[in-house]
Chains A and B, each alone.
Chain A
Amino acid sequence: MSYLRIDHVDKVFTSGARATRVLEAVDLSVEKGRFVTIIGHSGCGKSTLLNIVAGLVSASAGGVVLENRQVDTPGPDRAVVFQNHSLLPWLTVYDNVRLAVDKVFSRKKSRAERHDWTMRNLELVQMTHAKDKRPSEISGGMKQRVGIARALAMEPKVLLLDEPFGALDALTRAHLQDQVMALHRTLGNTVMMITHDVDEAVLLSDRIVMMTNGPCATIGETLDVALPRPRDRVTLSTDPHYLECRRRVLQFLYERHHYVEAA
């Protein structure tokens, strides 16, 4: 039975008399605890799809069902890690996470418990040492870790990652990917991630959802990655199944649905 279900979602953007159909008949089921990655060329509407799941954008037709309930407004049960971290610059690292904890657990936890929970989540991403710093005083990778901590602190049913490592250098990115894998192993969250990095998709996912080019983008193909966890990027780099998955995604993206420059 599916935990998160994207049911026949269409999205049409209208500006004046012109209507652009961005997504068409997107259907996807995600089981609980699974790590699903959506990959596609830029402009294919994959971010729009994530925003629809998050409730930040409403679908023109169809809908999203989470744990048998339709969701169409944003909420902490679908916490988002935004591409550009979106930390509030006037709050410290601690206060950024605490804001979320205070809001989500205002009734369920006492003051002291909320403090402990904030610290627990900062520990998960190893950011306790910088808890009193402002976002402008820490590196891009650290900001993204705080963003992840803030999202995890909401105890979401689904964790939505919108190209979370896109703005980071390759080494930081690899380090953060390992951290996200480790978190997923310990916490068992259901995760939906947007990316355009083939290696990242294969390394992290249980299933890769490949999107066709827009307009009228839809799911072109899905691929289950049956690699055992924990995964190690160095060992996997010669693993035949890993290489086969990688080849199939590359083939989809560059042979069958190669990127067309917007006219």
Chain B
Amino acid sequence: MTMQITKDDLVDATQADDRSIDELYARRRAPLIERHGARIRAFFAAVLPPMIVLTILLGIWQLLCIKPTSALPSPSRIWSEANDLILHPFFIAGPQDIGLGWRVLTSLQRVAIGFGLASGAGVLLGVIVGQSRWAMRGLDPLFQVLRTVPPLAWLPISLAAFRDSHPSAIFVIFITSIWPIIINTAVGVRNIPQDYRNVAAVLRLNHLEFFWKIMIPSAAPYIFTGLRIGVGLSWLAIVAAEMLTGGVGIGFFIWDAWNSSRLSDIFVALAYIGVTGFVLDRIVAAIGAFATRGAQAS
């Protein structure tokens, strides 16, 4: 679509007695403006409300903590004390004095290992529990009990077993995020329509072919629901685990800041954690939406 007036339009315009060129011009432009207008409106409809709410909340916070004696810092004080953390996420000024971006990346690396292991093991266990009635009867009650154990309760056991903080933190991620993956995969496998099983039976698909061609695509929406819950839980757990195990992760940064009474830094770190968790969730959701496109029966 061009907005230019072509020669044909001009001819048209000269032929039409009561239509001016301006009118024609406006007629051709109108849909374009409308189309862009709709997109701009949609953008503002999505962005404006949270911005307004955020501004109001920051304003209230500012008012509540405006006194110099208040226990918590106000937004303006956080900005003046910790703007280097906000503005420069990737500085390195010493072995323990690095930007929050690096710390988040360190934590993300642990999450990636722990969550990656949990995804693989969780899907496999879920498939077994979903496929076999006896495995379900034997394992499901165990899973239902274990999944309610809070992440940090695993930490001492894990420290005792691994005698090192790094694998311990990864184990805590693993054990925290695996349950929803197992349970959702099992439900997904149990819900494979009998029709698909019949198709597989008539075709005489072997176990491996059934796994890749029927089971995984059919259970994919459930599996990704489990992965999404799992990645959220691992991000919750890593921060808590790092507070206790030390190192350079974002969790330890908060603990360190608390010990040195840098409250403003903690607020900035919280914002980093929140945004990162949100992004993680959206990434897994997006992968899920991509991988399961067309998977829903009709």
Contact = CB atoms under 8 A, between A and B. Distances in A.
Interface of A: 54-56, 73-76, 78-80, 82, 84, 86, 88-90, 99-100, 103-104, 134-136, 154
Interface in B71-107: none
A75 B214 contact: no
14 contacts: A54-B198, A56-B201, A56-B202, A74-B204, A75-B202, A76-B203, A79-B202, A80-B202, A82-B195, A86-B196, A88-B199, A90-B220, A90-B294, A136-B296
Interface residues of B, number: 21
Contacts, number: 60
A250 B214 CA distance: 42
Contacts of B198: 54, 56, 74, 80, 82, 86
Contacts of B205: 103
A89 B202 contact: no
A154 B202 CA distance: 10
B202 A74 contact: yes
A185 to B, nearest CB: 25
B298 interface: yes
B209 interface: yes
B217 interface: yes
A88 B294 CA distance: 10
Query: In this complex, which of A86, A100, A154 has the most chain B Cβ atoms within 10 angstroms of its Cβ?
Result: A86
B214 A88 contact: yes
B139 interface: no
Contact of B204 (A76, A82, A99, A136): A76
A135 B292 CA distance: 14
Nearest to A104: B203
Nearest to B296: A89
A212 B260 CA distance: 86
Given A80-B198, A82-B195, A88-B199, A75 B295 contact: no
Instruction: Please provide the 8 A-B residue pairs with the shortest distance between their CB atoms, ordered closest to farther.
Output: A136-B298, A86-B195, A74-B201, A90-B217, A90-B295, A103-B203, A134-B294, A74-B202
B217 A75 contact: no
A78 B294 contact: no
Query: In this complex, which of B204, B217, B220, B294 has the most chain A Cβ atoms within 10 angstroms of its Cβ?
Result: B294
Nearest to A86: B195
Given A76-B202, A76-B203, 14 more contacts: A54-B198, A56-B198, A73-B201, A80-B198, A80-B202, A84-B195, A88-B196, A88-B214, A89-B294, A90-B218, A90-B294, A103-B209, A104-B203, A154-B202
Given A82-B195, A84-B195, A99-B213, A89 B297 contact: yes
Contacts of A86: 195-196, 198-199
A79 B294 CA distance: 25
- Majority SS at the chain B contact face: helix
A76 B295 CA distance: 25
Interface of B: 195-196, 198-199, 201-205, 209, 213-214, 217-218, 220, 292, 294-298
Nearest to A150: B199
Contacts of B292: 90
Contact of A103 (B204, B295, B297): B204
B291 to A, nearest CB: 10
Contacts of B214: 88
A84 B294 CA distance: 17
A75 B201 CA distance: 7
Contacts of A74: 198, 201-202, 204
A100 B203 contact: yes
A99 B202 CA distance: 12
A116 to B, nearest CB: 20
Contacts of A134: 294
A103 B198 CA distance: 15
Contacts of A135: 298
Nearest to A79: B202
Contacts of A78: 202
A103 B213 CA distance: 12
Nearest to B203: A103
A80 B197 CA distance: 13
A6 B298 CA distance: 35
Contact of A88 (B209, B217, B220): B217
B296 A54 contact: no
A166 to B, nearest CB: 14
B203 A55 contact: no
Contacts of A56: 198, 201-202
A210 to B, nearest CB: 26
Nearest to B209: A103
B288 to A, nearest CB: 13
B164 to A, nearest CB: 43
A166 B101 CA distance: 61
A154 B204 CA distance: 12
